[in-house]
Amino acid sequence: MSPGAADLGLYVLLFLAFWTAWICFTLYGNVAGERTRARTVLAAMFGMAVMAPAVPGVHAGEDGQARALALAYILIRILANGAWRHRREILFDWPAAQMSLGVIPWIVSLWAHEPARYWLWALGIALDLYVTFTVSARDVIESRRAHDESRRSHDQREDTRSRRRDGMLPMSGAAPDADHLSERLGLFVIIVLGEGVAQMIEAASDAAWDRRLYGLASAAFFLLVALWSLSFRHGYAGVPYLTARSLPARAALPLHCFVSGCLAALAAGLGAAAEHLDTLPESTRWLLCSSLAGYFLLTGIAALRQPDVVRRWLLSVVLPCCALPLLIAGFGAGLGTVAVVWLLVAVTLWPTFYESRRPRPVEPAARPGA
């Protein structure tokens, strides 16, 4: 079955939900380090394990599995909020990791049906993004301190143990460990690229092994390898042309999310392509090409932070790598499946070829006697 617009929208929504749940505990483990509560993380892993198998049922419109996914997401976010409250820390770069405003629509969705359920989930994700980009973590600290002072005035007769339990310890700010976070983010991207390999293996197990399948498998492998090279050999934390500490986490994390989402959509498109070896359906062709175009668009955004990037590089690399996949999607109806994927391989190899052909700056010669 070829994906439609509704399928794409549901994919984006579910991917953002999974990524949001994952990043909350990735950041918690990054900041807590050896003091990470194993039971809390294991409980969150169990929630993710419930969410993953519920996805096909959500796609099929099953109310029971949709409620199970929403309930698991709610519990994960509540666990994350409790973990940060216990540490008495606020992440300046990602305050939504320990705030529950975006969970409220998910709770309401437990009593809703589709499509209202999906709109409530989207509202919850939007509220998380709003909190992240508009609310200052320092304001949150002051708000919670004021709340603590109010509680203290009403609980003068409570003992010291009760005060500690209720959160009377001072609030402080926290910043992620950049090197460790980069390793975690990069691992996530590797898993997403591996999903592309898994999609091809699963599709090949049900297809006839002929010349077309060999050609598609080879093209898909080269495409994934080229993307891996751009994301890691020419990038940082899985984001191509992003350098270490060139962006604060509040800006770098959304880039990572959207790059990973584009790669995951591309992986799904490769799996669907193996089911249509003669001619790609239009929706699958658009899925493959637009996800690659989105990847390179985000590559251009990340590259703007590079001090040596010039307008010629953006025009010579980013623009064609965004435009050509869309041209293939729009005018490639007569192309075979294998031809489409090999064309995408050529587009993906172009940045590396361009970099290799670009003249290197000449080092000034040393003066005699220097």
pLDDT of residue 332: 84
Lowest mean pLDDT among 106-120, 162-176, 244-258, 324-338: 162-176
Tokens 């969705």 belong to residue: 109
pLDDT of residue 120: 94
Q: Is 274 helix (H, G, I), strand (E, B) or coil?
A: coil
pLDDT of residue 168: 47
- pLDDT tens digits for 331-345? 888 888 889 999 999
Mean pLDDT value of segment 99-111? 87
pLDDT of residue 366: 44
- pLDDT tens digits for 136-166? 545 555 545 554 555 555 455 454 444 444 4
Mean pLDDT value of segment 173-183? 74
Angle at CA 220, nearest 5°, toward 216 and 224? 175
CA-CA distance, 127 to 89, in Å (whole number)? Answer: 21
In the chain, % of residues over pLDDT 90: 17
E-strand stretches of 159-202: 172-174
pLDDT of residue 293: 94
Out of 173-182, 226-235, 258-267, 296-305, the most confident range is 258-267
Q: Which long-range contacts (CB under 8 A, 24 or more apart) does 50-58 make?
A: 51/17, 51/18, 51/21, 51/76, 52/18, 55/14, 58/10, 58/14
Question: In this structure, what token pair is assigned to residue 333?
Answer: 């109806």
Mean pLDDT value of segment 43-63? 86
pLDDT of residue 145: 52
Cis preceding-peptide flag for 115 (omega within 30 of 0): yes
pLDDT of residue 34: 77
pLDDT: is 234 or 218 the higher one?
A: 218
- pLDDT tens digits for 284-326? 899 899 999 999 988 777 777 665 566 677 888 888 999 999 9
Q: Which 8-state DSSP code applies to residue 76?
A: H
Mean pLDDT value of segment 265-269? 88
pLDDT: is 136 or 25 the higher one?
A: 25
pTM of the entire structure? Answer: 0.78
Question: In this structure, what token pair is assigned to residue 11?
Answer: 């994919």
**110, 67 in Cβ contact below 8 A?**
yes
Tokens 């305050």 belong to residue: 95
**What single-letter amino acid sits at 34?**
E
**275, 330 in Cβ contact below 8 A?**
no
pLDDT of residue 1: 53
pLDDT of residue 367: 45
Angle at CA 63, nearest 5°, toward 60 and 69? 90
For all residues of the chain together, what is the average pLDDT?
78
CA-CA distance, 86 to 210, in Å (whole number)? Answer: 58
Q: Which 8-state DSSP code applies to residue 158?
A: S
CA-CA distance, 55 to 45, in Å (whole number)? Answer: 16
| Cα dihedral 304, 310, 315, 316 in deg (nearest 10) | -110
E-strand stretches of 108-151: none
